[in-house]
Structure 1
Amino acid sequence: MSIATPQNPALAAALILAATTFIAATTLMAKALGTDVLGTPLHPMQISHGRFLFAFMGISTGVLILRPQFIRPHWGYHIGRTSFGWAGVTLMFASVAYIPLADATAITFLNPVFGMLLAIPLLGERVGPWRWGAALIAMIGAMILLRPTPASFQPAALLALTAAAVMGMELIFIKKLAGREAPLQVLWFNNLLGLAIATCAVLPVWQMPTPAQWGALAALGLLMACAQACFINGMARADASFVAPFSYATLVFAALYDFLGFGAVPDAISVLGAVIILAGAAILAWREGRQRPHDRAPAPAAK
């Protein structure tokens, strides 16, 4: 069964751009919560728990108001997507406490590359020289951002790289789930299952947040709910190859928020690495637009 949505590229672009502002803001909240800005730093698993808790509350409110008719969900795809999504989010939140938001965001833009590579054995997709070249370019950018020298290596950047790989696996399940269920149903089940997983994982490390941290957790979750809603509805209204480049604006907003919130200014290495990663991702998105639908690699996903 598939769900048809009227195509509207202009609206799709606007929705994806709106999603990028929300996504970048969630990383800013995660950085504040993972450092001592708002009190004793919270564990990344507690930050991701807050993300799913308040996002689920926000989306459930929308479900109660709209009262959509849900169909029987594909539990296997939902569980797979949510498990990898939760792990990716947690790793991403852990990384932003130690490295600039722009660096972490740029590295996680490798998730479509990992999704493409995983689609070869898992979905039987074919990868031509253009796509291999795009993947290689993006990986070179990631190596630059990792700063692999004894004097400048950032171990926390490996957290962002692992997050990108895990999110690449999530994209496999998103591709399997795409078109089977309505966007609001996908959002609701994703956050329901994510909350269940995050609740079990946070128990050993949970601590009482300060009032400011409760506010930041609530903001993080609600911003993510808005981002997911914009992203899924944007993806439904245009080809992934068209909307994917607009998602790269997340990097711009992440750098802006990091500067405004923490005074962080990207250095030359950060800019070079980010530009190379985005170049590889852009080539991949352009190439996907020229492929037949069944040959296309998964598109990026909102976290």
Structure 2
Amino acid sequence: MPVMDGSKSARAQTLPQSNLRGALWVLLSALAFSVSMALVKFMGEGYPPPMQVFIRQLIGLLVLVPFILRDPVQAFATNRLGLFVVRAIATSLSMMLAFASYQQLPLAEANALSFTRTLWMVPLAILMLGERVGMLRFLATLAGFGGVLLVIQPKGSEGVALLPALYGLAAAMLLAFSVTGIKALSRSHGQLQLLSWAGVFGVLFALPAAIPVWRLPSVHDGLLLLAMGVTGAIAQFCYIRGLSMGDATVLAPVDYSRIIMTSLLGLVIFHELPPSTTWLGVAIIVGGAVLITWHSQRYRERVADAALDREI
């Protein structure tokens, strides 16, 4: 009978508890994200995406200020400033396109398109990181984009508008590019450095787009915009916290609880009821994304175990 070495045994014993904690953080992130996007849509008529993105980025940076002030030199230490700039541009554009998509599409359908981020990471990994993609990931990606066609297909007078749907897909692609950049930067930078540069550049790149459409909000609207920014910052913090604790294959399905939350908010606040084809498309997109995540995580675990076996 095979005997599990101490390192693998300890890892196996700590996973269930850490996965539970991680899942709770990701669930909180999903809830905060859903509320934030509902507020983005609710405020969309009077406050365009560039203005909302600037407020969101500014609040996120202000939350970081106390942590940055503890050691500002370390917070901004880097030798890869160019990659930070490129990633920040991609992130800012992604947020503006995503906000436009959420404002113009039903919440559930806009949220479904955001899930294509995982699908976009497959071709980006090939182009940017030179990764080799097996048949399973390739087929899962194709199936996922097939689900996208079901979500955005014309449905008579109540069909999904093509341009906002393209906004959502482009936002997901840019976010996947940003995540790929994070993978490269995280090899030599800590979490505070990543967030600090993202916060500063996020504000700088959002400001020029926000100035032409800026309007002074009323007290009521200002409180709602503040809530949008705070819940967005909470969502980001909880998501990063959760991923640092648990297994990606366990946490990814928890993150997809967003589709239930946004659908309920869409029904209650905006009286939106997605058709059956949307739910079928969502199921295919989520299934493809979960399969890709599971396959990628299994591959990393096999590589890690093989390296550990060689050391032993």
TM bracket (short chain): 0.7 to 0.9
Structure 1 residue 256: Cα displacement: 1.6
Identify the structure with the greater helix proportion.
2
1:120 alignment counterpart: 126
CA contact (8 A) 1:92 1:159 kept: yes
Distance 1:201 1:28 in 2: 22
Asked whether the equivalents of residues 16 and 230 of structure 1 are also in contact (C-alpha less than 8 Å), the reply is yes
Does the CA contact (< 8 Å) of 1:112 and 1:171 recur in 2?
A: no
Residues 29 and 239, structure 2, Cα contact 8 Å, conserved in 1:
yes
Matched ranges for 1:156-171 at <5 A: 156-171=164-179
Match of 2:26 in 1: 16
Alignment correspondent of 2:297: 289
Cα drift, residue 82 of structure 1: 1.8
Q: Is the 1:44–1:93 Cα contact (8 Å) retained in structure 2?
A: yes
Tell me: CA distance 1:259–1:149, structure 2 relative to 1, closer, same or farther (3 Å).
Answer: closer
Distance 1:150 1:10 in 2: 44
Q: 1:90 Cα deviation (Å)?
A: 0.7
Whose radius of gyration is greater, 1 or 2?
2
Cα offset, 1:160, TM superposition = 0.7
Deviation at 1:68, TM superposition (A): 10
Is this contact kept in 2: 1:17–1:247, CA < 8 A? yes
Number of equivalences:
286
Conserved in 2, the CA contact under 8 Å of 1:15 and 1:234?
yes
Counterpart of 1:241 in 2: which secondary structure?
Answer: helix
Cα pair 2:75 2:196 within 8 Å, conserved = no
Cα deviations by residue, 1:70-107 (Å, 9 ceiling, x for unpaired): 36134233222221111111111101112111101111
Please give the residue correspondences for 1:4-153 in structure 2 after superposition, counting only pairs within 5 Å: 8-35=18-45, 41-61=46-66, 63=68, 70=75, 72-73=77-78, 74-148=80-154, 152-153=159-160
Counterparts in 2 of 1:179 and 1:15: CA distance versus 1, 3 Å: farther
Distance in 2, matches of 1:147 and 1:181, equals: 42
Q: Tell me which moved more, 45-54 or 211-220.
A: 211-220
Q: Deviations over 1:80-135 (max 9, x none)?
A: 22211111111111011121111011111101111111110110001011001110
**Once the 2 structures are TM-superposed, how far is the Cα of residue 69 of structure 1 from its aligned partner?**
5.4
**Match in the other structure for 1:244:** 252
Q: Which amino acid aligns with 2:222?
A: W
Q: 1:234 aligns with which of 231, 238, 242?
A: 242
Q: 1 CA distance for matches of 2:108 and 2:185? A: 30
CA-to-partner distance for each residue in 1:114-163, whole Å, 9 max, x for gaps?
A: 11111101100010110011101110111111114675352221111111
Question: Match for residue 154 of structure 1?
Answer: 161
C-alpha separation in 1, matches of 2:73 and 2:29: 22
Superposed CA offset, 1:171-205 (max 9, x none): 21011122533323322321221011111221222
* Equivalent residue number for residue 262 of structure 2: 254
Q: What amino acid is the match of 1:12? A: G
Q: Which amino acid is 1:122 matched to?
A: M
Gaps of at least 5 residues in structure 1 are 1-5, 36-40, 296-303
Q: Please say if residues 51 and 221 of structure 1, whose CA atoms lie closer than 8 Å, have aligned partners that are also in contact.
A: yes
Structure 2: where are the runs of 5+ without partners?
1-13, 304-312
Identity of paired residues, percent? 28
Is the contact made by 2:113 and 2:168 (CA closer than 8 Å) also made in structure 1? yes
153 and 225 in structure 1: CA distance in 2 versus 1, 3 angstrom threshold: closer
CA distance in 2, matches of 1:63, 1:256: 37
Quote the Cα distance in structure 1 between the aligned partners of 2:187 and 2:239. 14
Q: Secondary structure at the match of 2:104?
A: coil
Residue 182 (1) aligns with residue 190 (2): yes
2:49 corresponds to which letter in structure 1?
P
Give the whole-Å Cα distance in 1 for the aligned partners of 2:273 and 2:70.
43
TM-score computed with the length of structure 1 as normaliser:
0.86
Taking a change above 3 Å as real, the CA distance of residues 221 and 294 of structure 1, as seen in their structure-2 partners, is farther
Q: Do 1:146 and 1:158's aligned partners in 2 also have CA atoms closer than 8 Å?
A: no
**Could you tell me how far 1:164 is from its partner in structure 2?**
1.1
Q: CA RMSD in A?
A: 2.5
